[in-house]
């Protein structure tokens, strides 16, 4: 029987990794991911998980070990955050290019500098073109569910693409919530045992993997990856449907809330979606027609579904938890803006950097601006303090 357990986001991820019966684990600790590395090491040691734990000396090696092991035909696990993900960057691309469908929790944390231990999406957004699927979670149940579904999606032969399951550092990684866990047998039936489907290392069937490839073939191999992303949309639909039938919780690449006749919608990612929904309820009670779109799958980005789901809404407030320096907008805004016709106002709000809480006030300010403000093009740093240039002054205003 399925049962409830109090878990934080990191433990929910570990629970999913355990139930996916990975065989090799290689992880390196970093706040706020550390308890994932610790817990995995513990359960490998006490036999709860029959797997070999490789106590690697860096995230670069963590991903390298995972790639090497999974190429021999076993499911593997690693997890990281922030500068750890940045250090992995080189080999993150090897995993996707070699079509090794690793599923990796990324516990979102700001990138140095300045040093910050706290949540934003700069780390995973910097990897958005690295050829990995990216799924973002709203709450702790969502972390568990998304992990389980990610194995199915990533390993599907039509997709064969690794997946990052992104959970907001501290907001999810360290917050305890009640989580419904299915029986092991149900998970076994849902994700199946791992079978290597393409490149493999086997001395009795030798092949050479990942040698130098000419410009005559690289484009085609990259195109195959692009097709993997295209296919992932259908596969996600199938997997989400099957999951909701079997486990009773629904999921979609993009989820709408309070959409009826909405005048304005906040488009956001991750844990702030909960606050946005709550505020939209309050504002609805006050007669304001506002709602929320939560982007679950950032890669692939469901741009067609976005067009459908907004209906006649003409105002979108996109909140990015990352900076998008020097661009016309930050990553989420760029996706939303380019998906829609120009008769929709799409404004960009930067908020929640380095753990700043995207609270009720911030969300209200965003709704007020999108409903009543002008249609300025520049991103609005909605929760930025006053006298900005006087804080830890870098350029002298002489």
Partner 1 sequence: MIDIKKESRGYIAHGVSACAGCGMELILRTVLNALGQDTTLVIPPGCSALFCGFGKETGLKVSTFQGNLENSAAYAAGIRAGYEVQGNNHSTVVAFAGDGGTLDIGLQSLSGMMERGDDVLYICYDNEAYMNTGIQGSSATPLGAWTTTTPTGKPVYKKDLLGIAMAHGIPYCASASVANIKDMTKKVEKAKSIQGPKLLHIHCPCPTGWGSAPSKSIEVSKKAVQTGAWVLYECEDGNIKLNNPPKELKAVQEYTKLQKRFSGINEEQLVALQMGITKNFERLMRMQAE
Contacts (Cβ under 8 Å, ≥6 apart) of 32: 10, 81, 107, 109, 117, 119, 169, 170, 173, 174
Minimum CB distance to partner 1, residue 206 (Å): 4
For partner 1, the closer CB: 70 or 280? 70
For partner 1, the closer CB: 73 or 355? 73
For partner 1, the closer CB: 222 or 246? 222
* C-alpha–C-alpha distance, residues 311 and 258, integer Å: 12
For partner 1, the closer CB: 60 or 288? 60
CA nearest neighbour of 50 among 29, 71, 75: 75
Angle subtended by helix axes 140-155 and 218-247, to nearest 10 = 130
Minimum CB distance to partner 1, residue 91 (Å): 6
For partner 1, the closer CB: 66 or 191? 66
Minimum CB distance to partner 1, residue 49 (Å): 11
Residue 74's CB: how many other CB atoms inside 10 A?
A: 16
* C-alpha–C-alpha distance, residues 5 and 18, integer Å: 15
Minimum CB distance to partner 1, residue 195 (Å): 12
For partner 1, the closer CB: 25 or 273? 25
* C-alpha–C-alpha distance, residues 131 and 161, integer Å: 7
Structure-block tokens of residue 386: 């006053």
Minimum CB distance to partner 1, residue 55 (Å): 6
* C-alpha–C-alpha distance, residues 252 and 335, integer Å: 17
* C-alpha–C-alpha distance, residues 333 and 346, integer Å: 8
- The residues binding partner 1 (CB under 8 A) are 23-24, 26, 50-52, 54-58, 60-61, 64-74, 76, 90-91, 94, 201-214, 216-217
Minimum CB distance to partner 1, residue 225 (Å): 18
């Amino acid at each position: 029987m399925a049962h409830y357990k109090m878990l934080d986001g990191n433990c929910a991820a570990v629970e999913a990794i355990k139930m996916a019966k990975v065989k090799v684990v290689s992880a390196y600790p970093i706040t706020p991911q550390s308890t994932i590395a610790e817990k995995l090491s513990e359960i490998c040691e006490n036999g709860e998980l029959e797997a070999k734990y490789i106590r690697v000396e860096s995230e670069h090696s963590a991903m390298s070990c995972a790639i090497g092991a999974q190429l021999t035909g076993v499911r593997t696990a690693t997890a990281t955050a922030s500068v750890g993900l940045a250090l992995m960057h080189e080999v993150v691309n090897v995993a996707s290019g070699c079509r090794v469908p690793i599923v990796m929790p990324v516990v979102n944390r700001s990138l140095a500098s300045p040093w910050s231990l706290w949540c934003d999406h700069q780390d995973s957004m910097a990897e958005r073109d690295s050829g990995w699927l990216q799924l973002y979670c709203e709450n702790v149940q969502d972390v568990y569910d998304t992990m389980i579904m990610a194995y199915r999606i990533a390993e599907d032969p039509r997709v064969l693409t690794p997946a990052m399951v992104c959970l907001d550092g501290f907001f999810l990684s360290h917050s305890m919530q009640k989580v419904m866990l299915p029986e092991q047998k149900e998970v076994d039936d849902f994700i199946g045992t791992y079978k290597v489907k393409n490149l493999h290392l086997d001395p009795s069937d030798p092949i050479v993997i990942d040698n130098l490839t000419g410009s005559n073939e690289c484009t085609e191999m990259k195109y195959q990856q692009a097709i993997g992303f295209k296919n992932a949309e259908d596969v996600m639909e199938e997997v989400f449907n099957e999951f909701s039938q079997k486990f009773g919780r629904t999921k979609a690449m993009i989820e709408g809330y309070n959409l009826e006749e909405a005048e304005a919608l906040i488009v956001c990612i991750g844990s702030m979606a909960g606050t946005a929904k709550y505020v939209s309820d309050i504002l609805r009670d006050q007669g304001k027609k506002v709602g929320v779109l939560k982007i679950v799958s950032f890669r692939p980005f469901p741009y067609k579904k976005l067009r459908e789901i907004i209906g006649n809404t003409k105002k979108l407030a996109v909140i990015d938890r990352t900076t998008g320096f020097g661009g016309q907008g930050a990553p989420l805004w760029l996706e939303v803006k380019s998906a829609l016709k120009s008769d929709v106002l799409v404004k960009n709000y930067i908020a929640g950097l380095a753990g700043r809480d995207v609270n009720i006030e911030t969300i209200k300010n965003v709704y007020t601006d999108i409903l009543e403000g002008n249609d300025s093009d520049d991103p609005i740093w909605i929760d930025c303090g006053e006298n900005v240039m006087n804080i830890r002054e870098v350029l002298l205003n002489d």
